[in-house]
Chains A and B, each alone.
Chain A
Amino acid sequence: MTVSTVGARAPRLTLRRRRQLAGALFALPAVALVVGLIAVPIGQAIYYSFTQWNGLTSTWIGPSTWTQAFHNPNLWTALENNAWLLLAVPFALGLPLLIAMLLHQRVIGWKIFRSIYFLPTAISWVVLGLVAERFFAFQGTLNSLLHFFGLSHVNTNMLGYESTALSALGITFVFTMIGTNTMLFLTGLATLDTSLEEAARIDGAGRWRIFRHITLPHLSRFIQLAFVMTVIALFSALFSLIFVMTGGGPGYATTTMEFLIYQTGFAQGDFGTAALYGLILFVLTAIVGIVQLRLIGSDE
């Protein structure tokens, strides 16, 4: 790359242009990867959502594929399951907030406790799903606990019944999110100016008031981020748990949108409808994503 310098001002201009060229070239591989493997497939999904498609040949059907899809009860069951699972979100945020507050008191050994609390975060949700299955199983820990507390006549089998399987999945989801969210909140608490709390305490403010008026507002950005991450995980990261724990059943009791896409595409071979379901999931997460972008954007 040799640049001939003609006049006194020429090199400056070329330097600027060279920098831009270098920038574009440096960004190119990342752009290519994201365009080729994320952007193009979104476009394809839109096209294929209007076709009958088995992965090899596709026939154009038109918008009627969409009206047909919305008449499919399985889609509504999956959306309904996703909606019910949203009830787990307050717990997936509240419990970690409580745990972070406890850790923040810095009792003896809090650093060890912190490491222990975060440890499950490293484990695959496949493994956590396997363990959860043992917990909820007929001869599992839950029944042992119930018997221990004198409820020997109670025998649960939460994963075995349509009425309770989704709750079991939700409980497992809350457990899997505790580490990450606690980590977020603890980081937030660490940036809190303790002199503020101290001043409020001297002024006679009770614990609840300090929490409500000082701690909580300070944590709001962290809570927003945790909320967005939790909801996105709920929509797109349950696959491992469902695959291992229930396979979407009993019936369609634990089939969420993401699992319905997998089932429709790979169990039924209906690629077109699966692509269409994918777009619905895409819209759902995009709504949450816009919230997150606002959070990041408001920083600059």
Chain B
Amino acid sequence: MSLDTPPVAPEAPTDRRARARRVGRGALFLVMVGVAVVMLYPFWVMIVDSLKSENQFLSGHGFSWASWRTLTSTIPIAQEVVSSTIICAVSILLILLVGLPAGFAFAKLKFRASGVIFLAIVSAMMVPLQAILMPEFVNITRLGLTGGYTGAVLVYAALGTPFSVFLFATYFRGVPDELIEAGIVDGLGYTGALWRLVVPIAIPAIATVTVLQFIQIWDDLLVGLLFIQNTSERPITVGLAVLAAGRTTSIPALMAGSLVSALPAMIVYLIFQRYLVKGLTMGIDR
């Protein structure tokens, strides 16, 4: 670089900056790949370990389908997936059936003390199940509801209701009053206005509640462990946890079962990602 080439000189720094920028971008990309490796680690462990027989796992050499082939005899996986599905579906249905009218009421049909009652319900979001575990367990057992899915479904519904009421009420506040008035004038009545006018607009909020609750209930251990007494009605997460805690089931079989249990929630999650984000930031993001 000689001094008698002035026209080139001003370009040099920008050139260098552009290169520095490109290097920076490249480094950033590598860091992101690194983080991705860490976040994918659980899946790698599940896949690799499930592709071994117990002996191959213990010796650390070789791969086979053995654990997958014997999976159904090691873990009653089909029945557990069915149980999980039923429990999720009924609980979510109950949460929606109870939460939608309540959210509508607190947002648009205010009654005496509705503000205080709403606040009380929202506060219930903060009560961890463990805090009321003992009375809850005894109540449900005394009512004879631990035999089937009923007890667990009721507990899941009660735990999921506060958040859904909060979310629906927040959502319905944005619905114009005129729309409901018009429905009432048209003779729909309040029930008709709810199901025919309000619920159809609330599909995004319903999706948010459904996705959040599905992942929550599908992945839960404590409720399923205590409120479903028959081992033949156990949901998959509980089945896996009990086998894992028992320390007699082979790791490859557990990993295969884990993969099966993780799949539905992952699929739901990948498809409905944006509804999940919406639900999480509800209340501060507007």
A residues near B (Cβ < 8 Å) are 1, 18-27, 29-31, 33-34, 36-42, 44-45, 48, 53, 55, 99, 102-103, 105, 107-110, 113, 115-131, 133-135, 139, 141, 175, 178-180, 183-184, 187-188, 191, 221-222, 225, 232, 235-236, 239-240, 243-244, 247, 257-258, 261-262, 265-266, 271, 274-275, 278-279, 281-282, 285-286, 288-289, 292-293, 295-296, 299
Docked-complex contact A258 and B128, CB < 8 angstroms: yes
Kindly state the interface size class of chain B when it binds its partner: 35 or more
Residues of B contacting A236 with CB < 8 Å? 128-131
The minimal Cβ–Cβ distance linking B258 to chain A, given in whole angstroms, is 4
CB of B60 closer than 8 Å to a CB of A: yes
Bound-complex Cα distance A77 to B58 (A): 36
Min CB distance, B286 to chain A, in Å? Answer: 8
Further contacts, 4 of them, CB under 8 A, given A25-B105, A122-B219: A26-B190, A122-B266, A134-B45, A141-B41
A115 touching B273 by the CB < 8 A rule?
Answer: yes
Interface mask (B148-182 → A, CB under 8 Å = 1, otherwise 0): 00000011011101100100000000000000000
User: Which residues of chain B have C-beta atoms less than 8 A from A221's C-beta?
Assistant: 284
How many Å lie between the Cα of A289 and that of B46 in the bound state?
36
Residues of B contacting A292 in the complex (Cβ-Cβ under 8 angstroms): 126
9-residue interface stretch from B5-13, B62-70, B72-80, B95-103: B95-103
Contact at A24–B111, with CB atoms within 8 Å? yes
Please report the C-alpha to C-alpha distance between residue A210 and residue B122 in the assembled complex, in whole angstroms.
37
* Contact between chains at B154 and A26 (CB < 8 Å): no
Instruction: Determine the chain B residues whose CB is within 8 A of the CB of A265 once the complex forms.
Output: 133-134, 137
Q: Are A23 and B132 in contact (CB under 8 A)?
A: no
By Cβ-Cβ distance, the 4 closest A-B pairs, closest first, are: A23-B109, A289-B126, A236-B128, A37-B158
Check B258–A127 contact: CB distance below 8 A.
yes
Sampled A-B contacts (21; CB under 8 Å): A22-B105, A24-B112, A34-B120, A38-B162, A45-B132, A48-B134, A55-B137, A107-B28, A107-B32, A113-B35, A117-B35, A119-B40, A123-B219, A123-B262, A124-B220, A124-B261, A127-B240, A129-B244, A262-B130, A278-B130, A299-B284
Smallest CB-CB separation from A287: which chain B residue? Answer: B126
Indicate the member of B60, B159, B269 with the most A CB atoms within 10 Å: B269
Q: How far is the CB of B218 from chain A (nearest CB, A)?
A: 7
Chain B interface SS verdict (over half): helix
Complex Cα distance, B82 from A82, in Å, reads 36
Q: Is the CB–CB distance between A225 and B284 below 8 Å?
A: yes
Instruction: List A contacts of B222 (CB < 8 A).
Output: 239-240, 262
Fill in one digit per residue for B244-280: 1 if any A CB lies within 8 Å of its CB, else 0: 1100000100110010011001101110010011001
Name the residue in A21, A23, A122 with the highest tally of chain B Cβ atoms < 10 Å from its Cβ. Answer: A122
What residues of chain A lie closer than 8 Å to B190, measured between beta carbons? 18-19, 22, 26
Q: Is B231 an interface residue (CB 8 A)?
A: no
How near does chain B come to A160, taking the closest CB pair, in angstroms?
13
Q: Which listed residue (A19, A102, A266) contacts B35, Cβ 8 A?
A: A102
Chain A contact surface mostly: helix
- Given contacts A23-B109, A30-B98, A261 and B133 within 8 Å (CB-CB): yes
B221-A240 in contact (CB<8A) = yes
- Pick the contact of A44 from B45, B135, B161, B285 — CB < 8 Å? B135
In the bound complex, CA of A122 to CA of B133 (Å): 25
> Which residues in B have their C-beta under 8 angstroms from that of A289?
123, 125-126
For A130, list chain B residues within 8 Å (CB).
240, 244, 254-255, 258
Residue contact B109 to A26, C-beta cutoff 8 Å: yes
Which residues from chain B contact A48 at a C-beta distance below 8 Å? 134-135
Bound complex: CA A183 to CA B215 (Å): 16
Q: Is the CB of A113 within 8 A of B241?
A: no
Q: Please, how many angstroms separate the alpha-carbon atoms of A19 and B128 in the complex?
A: 34
| A38 in contact with B277 (CB, 8 Å) | no
